Chains A and B, each alone.
Chain A
Amino acid sequence: MWRKILLFSVMAVLASAIFAAPVTIQFWHAMGGTDRIQLLQNLANEFMQQNPDIKVDVQYTGSYTDTMTKMIAAVRAGNPPDLVMIYDIGTQMMIDSGVIIPIQNMIDKDPSFDINTLVSASRGYYTVGGKLYSLPFNSSNPVIFYNKTLFEKAGLDPNNPPTTFEEFIADAQKLTVKDANGNTIQYGFTFGSGEPLAWFFEQFMAVQNSLLLNNNNGRDGRATKAVFSNESGLRIFNFFNDMIQNGSAINAGPGWDNARQIFISQRAAMLITSTSDVNMMVKAAQSGNFSLGVMFLPHPSGVPYGGVIVGGASLWMVNTGNTQREEATWKFLKFLESVDAQIEWSTGTGYFPVNKNSIIKLMYQGYYAKNPPYLVTVLQLLMSNVTPATRGGVTGAFPQIRTAVNDAFGKMFTKAMTPQQALQWAQDQANQAIANYNSLY
């Protein structure tokens, strides 16, 4: 009897292996670092265990820009992946690429996926012209990390961080320490230039509920003009410039890492960076023996608070013409957006969950009570109003606009231009880039 059962089950296993034609899908992502690469591989492994008929080939394809380059190369060579992670500012380029399947099409066909579980801000960012094009996966926004220990030393209340630009500038000055010769040994504030700085600018525009681009940030139709050279933009330029010129802030140089190092080494008391750094910062504070605080982005006093824009990247489905693979990809996507997968991803990195139910579950488990820095990152997002400004701009010329905005900051910091001139210059550059891109469509 037992033998028969055994024989039967062996045959059943064999049969399923033979008859269920396995599908292989390719997934390219841009999450560097050993931990994150492994985390995504683990998620894929779990999925494959649940779905033995699907094989997911996970590949780390370099930075966001590298991944976009590789995606373009693959499309032009005729062998794109099934699923690809593309940075926020590549949204319009992907829509225009002609090779993707809008996620909305899949959702419309599949009642098992509840679009309302997506965090509204993330969903809003990737919805263009009323259509959800891609699924947010690793969503983040900027926050300010601060060193509570240094706040106390400077006589500031570590539990009452600044909330307005004015308070922030004043505190930054109090947190600046000079030695007997007048050399700065501790700065109030630090930030990375290059892409990060341009991103912060966009965020502070949203904080003031101001648009970057016309046509409601390119959401109601293709954006044709940049509109950020106004009072709101100027406040941001002045905010950074004031602190640079009075010596209470230090420009850490291009990229994220230099600024992190200055903050971790306690040479600066406040750091603006991505929420996805929260894991790293919590660990750094423990090993560096200081107490870490996280604050919302400050806003100019008297200006109504808008909110922050979702940054990070989203997952795009490629039109391969192969229904079987497309269905497998969609299944995998639904898995990645599921409550538990999002919890695993979020707690392992610092990106916030894009599934509302993951946030609720984490809250009931007491996760946020135990890890206040994570709570702040989620709260800032949930407290944002969903408006055209906080949904962020979409244009195919976004990479050039970021370069222009960063260059404008540089021109202002080095006093080659006044804040007003620099801002206007950036807008002119942006307009040229937008016109250039739009002339193709």
Chain B
Amino acid sequence: MSKKIFPYLLLIPTFLIVVIFIYYPAFQTFKLSFYKMSPFGNRLFFTGFGNFWSLFTSGQYIQSAYTTLIFVVVTVVAGLTISLFLALLLNQKVPGIGIFRTLIFAPYAVSPAVAGTLWAFLLSPVAGYVSYLFLVLFKAQPQWLTTYPLALIAIMIATIWKNLGFNIIFFLAGLQSIPQSYYEAATIDGANASSRLIKITIPLLSPITFYLIVMNVTFTAFSAFATIDVMTQGGPANTTSTLIYKLYQDGFVNFNTGFASAESVILILIMAVFTYLYFKFGQKAVFYQ
């Protein structure tokens, strides 16, 4: 075997998969986005930017974009804040901490679909314990899954809960890599707990936080599809329909290939920008050599 071609041979399987199942469909999506197609594909017309025009002039698509933005920002910010707090608690040296860590990491193993069914059950108006709790505590009967903005909040709760395990594991690893001597020096200088948190912990965690933001954004924007599908199916009145949910609906419920392809193109472009920013600002900070 020639030494020169050896590394290429190693790369063949990966590139075969990536070219056939990512590059080629990406190219195909761009092409299809300029066409109108009948459900069975027996009619095909070039429509230029017609699909894009229809999307941007339809309130539904803009609403989905807006929903996605709110959903992602609130879920990521709230989720990371809670996770950081829990990680600080789990970083204490107290007896049994190993068991607590094991338990609190558990939601990591939960799938978005399972998270959705669990919370749909807890929030259900008939047998839901959370609904009952609200009745007892606040004398209120919120309709969690069928009113706005509660439905969106319900999905946020399920998503934040599901992400806890992942986020805490990271924060904890980050906290443990901070040398104890930093804190000791600060304590001698008279810094109290909260100023140590703000001046030492948070800045030193920023590379990890950055990585977590990136992962949480992609997770929330895409994988939470399953949670939405199980809990609300995008309702009520489209208020929990994110961009990926809309894409699925147009492609596989309404059988409108043109719209779905145009939506794909938009998402590909958004993710391309996102990747660019990540490599430009984040890569060095996180994957430090």
Give residues of chain B (108-139) contacting chain A, Cβ–Cβ below 8 Å: 124-127, 135, 139
- Taking the closest CB of chain B, its distance from the CB of A176, in whole angstroms, is 12
Q: Who on chain A is nearest to B241 by CB? A: A407
Q: Does A261 contact B (CB under 8 A)?
A: yes
Q: Does A400 contact B (CB under 8 A)?
A: yes
Q: Are A414 and B141 in contact (CB under 8 A)?
A: no
Q: Does B5 contact A (CB under 8 A)?
A: no
Q: Who on chain A is nearest to B139 by CB? A: A181
Q: Are A403 and B253 in contact (CB under 8 A)?
A: yes
- Digit string of A57-74 for contact with B (CB within 8 Å is 1, else 0)? 000000001001100100
In the bound complex, how far is the Cα of B124 from the Cα of A182, in angstroms?
19
Q: Do A407 and B237 contact each other (CB < 8 Å), given the known contacts A72-B39, A98-B40, A396-B39? A: yes
Chain A residues closer than 8 Å to B125, beta-carbon distance: 250, 252, 262, 267
Partner of B253, one of A65, A258, A410: A65
Q: Are B255 and A68 in contact (CB under 8 A)?
A: yes
In the bound complex, how far is the Cα of B143 from the Cα of A334, in angstroms?
48
Q: Does B278 contact A (CB under 8 A)?
A: no
Specify the main secondary structure of chain B where it touches its partner: loop
Q: Are B58 and A414 in contact (CB under 8 A)?
A: no
In the bound complex, how far is the Cα of B40 from the Cα of A75, in angstroms?
7
Chain A residues closer than 8 Å to B139, beta-carbon distance: 181-183
Q: Does B236 contact A (CB under 8 A)?
A: yes
Q: Are B148 and A432 in contact (CB under 8 A)?
A: no
- Digit string of A254-266 for contact with B (CB within 8 Å is 1, else 0)? 1100100110010
- Taking the closest CB of chain A, its distance from the CB of B267, in whole angstroms, is 20
Q: Are A261 and B237 in contact (CB under 8 A)?
A: no
Q: Are B252 and A98 in contact (CB under 8 A)?
A: no
- Digit string of A428-441 for contact with B (CB within 8 Å is 1, else 0)? 01001100100111
Partner of B233, one of A183, A254, A262, A416: A254
Q: Does A184 contact B (CB under 8 A)?
A: yes
Partner of A440, one of B38, B124, B127, B236: B38
B side interface size, CB within 8 A = 37
Partner of B41, one of A76, A251, A433: A76
Q: Are B239 and A432 in contact (CB under 8 A)?
A: no
- Digit string of B11-42 for contact with A (CB within 8 Å is 1, else 0)? 00000000000000000000000001111111
Q: Does A93 contact B (CB under 8 A)?
A: yes
Q: Are A440 and B45 in contact (CB under 8 A)?
A: yes
Q: Does A246 contact B (CB under 8 A)?
A: no
In the bound complex, how far is the Cα of B42 from the Cα of A411, in angstroms?
36
- Digit string of A152-196 for contact with B (CB within 8 Å is 1, else 0)? 000000000000000000000000000001111000000001100
Q: Are B249 and A403 in contact (CB under 8 A)?
A: yes
Q: Are A193 and B236 in contact (CB under 8 A)?
A: yes
- Taking the closest CB of chain A, its distance from the CB of B206, in whole angstroms, is 40
- Name the residue in B43, B127, B139, B255 with the highest tally of chain A Cβ atoms < 10 Å from its Cβ: B255
Give residues of chain B (64-123) contacting chain A, Cβ–Cβ below 8 Å: none
Q: Are A414 and B39 in contact (CB under 8 A)?
A: no
Q: Who on chain B is nearest to A401 by CB? A: B254
- Name the residue in A93, A253, A429 with the highest tally of chain B Cβ atoms < 10 Å from its Cβ: A253
Chain B residues closer than 8 Å to A413, beta-carbon distance: 146-147, 236-237
Q: Are B126 and A265 in contact (CB under 8 A)?
A: yes
Q: Are B127 and A251 in contact (CB under 8 A)?
A: no
- Name the residue in B40, B45, B127 with the highest tally of chain A Cβ atoms < 10 Å from its Cβ: B40
In the bound complex, how far is the Cα of B41 from the Cα of A151, in angstroms?
53
In the bound complex, how far is the Cα of B254 from the Cα of A72, in angstroms?
12
Specify the main secondary structure of chain A where it touches its partner: helix
Q: Do A403 and B39 contact each other (CB < 8 Å), given the known contacts A253-B146, A410-B238? A: no
Q: Does A242 contact B (CB under 8 A)?
A: no
Q: Does B232 contact A (CB under 8 A)?
A: yes
Chain B residues closer than 8 Å to A182, beta-carbon distance: 139
Q: Are B147 and A400 in contact (CB under 8 A)?
A: no
Q: Who on chain A is nearest to B233 by CB? A: A254
Q: Who on chain A is nearest to B57 by CB? A: A432
Q: Do A254 and B148 contact each other (CB < 8 Å), given the known contacts A72-B39, A439-B36? A: no
Give residues of chain A (186-213) contacting chain B, Cβ–Cβ below 8 Å: 193-194
Partner of A184, one of B45, B141, B237, B238: B141
Q: Are A440 and B43 in contact (CB under 8 A)?
A: yes
- Taking the closest CB of chain B, its distance from the CB of A319, in whole angstroms, is 12
Q: Are B54 and A436 in contact (CB under 8 A)?
A: yes
Partner of A254, one of B37, B45, B232: B232
Q: Does A281 contact B (CB under 8 A)?
A: no
Give residues of chain B (210-263) contacting chain A, Cβ–Cβ below 8 Å: 232-233, 235-239, 249, 252-256
Chain B residues closer than 8 Å to A184, beta-carbon distance: 141
Q: Does B145 contact A (CB under 8 A)?
A: yes
- Digit string of A76-115 for contact with B (CB within 8 Å is 1, else 0)? 1000000000000000010011110000000000000000
Q: Are B38 and A96 in contact (CB under 8 A)?
A: yes
In the bound complex, how far is the Cα of B126 from the Cα of A265, in angstroms?
8
Q: Are B147 and A414 in contact (CB under 8 A)?
A: yes
Q: Are B145 and A436 in contact (CB under 8 A)?
A: no
- Name the residue in B38, B43, B237, B239 with the highest tally of chain A Cβ atoms < 10 Å from its Cβ: B237
Q: Are B143 and A410 in contact (CB under 8 A)?
A: no
Partner of B255, one of A93, A253, A410, A441: A93
Chain A residues closer than 8 Å to B45, beta-carbon distance: 439-440
- Digit string of A379-421 for contact with B (CB within 8 Å is 1, else 0)? 0000000000000000010011001001111110110100000
Q: Do A407 and B235 contact each other (CB < 8 Å), given the known contacts A181-B139, A399-B255, A439-B36? A: yes
Q: Who on chain B is nearest to A412 by CB? A: B237
Q: Do A258 and B39 contact each other (CB < 8 Å), given the known contacts A413-B236, A416-B148? A: no
Q: Do A441 and B41 contact each other (CB < 8 Å), given the known contacts A251-B143, A253-B145? A: no
- Taking the closest CB of chain A, its distance from the CB of B251, in whole angstroms, is 9
Q: Who on chain B is nearest to A254 by CB? A: B233
- Taking the closest CB of chain A, its distance from the CB of B52, in whole angstroms, is 14
Q: Are B126 and A183 in contact (CB under 8 A)?
A: no
In the bound complex, how far is the Cα of B126 from the Cα of A250, in angstroms?
11
- Taking the closest CB of chain B, its distance from the CB of A229, in whole angstroms, is 17
Query: Contacts A258-B124, A414-B148, A436-B36 given; 5 further ones with Cβ under 8 A?
Result: A97-B40, A97-B42, A253-B146, A403-B249, A432-B58
Q: Could you give 13 example pairs across A and B, Cβ below 8 Å?
A: A75-B41, A93-B40, A181-B139, A194-B235, A255-B233, A265-B127, A400-B256, A407-B237, A411-B237, A413-B236, A436-B54, A439-B36, A440-B43
A-B complex: 7 closest residue pairs judged by Cβ atoms: A410-B237, A410-B236, A97-B40, A254-B233, A411-B237, A251-B146, A440-B43
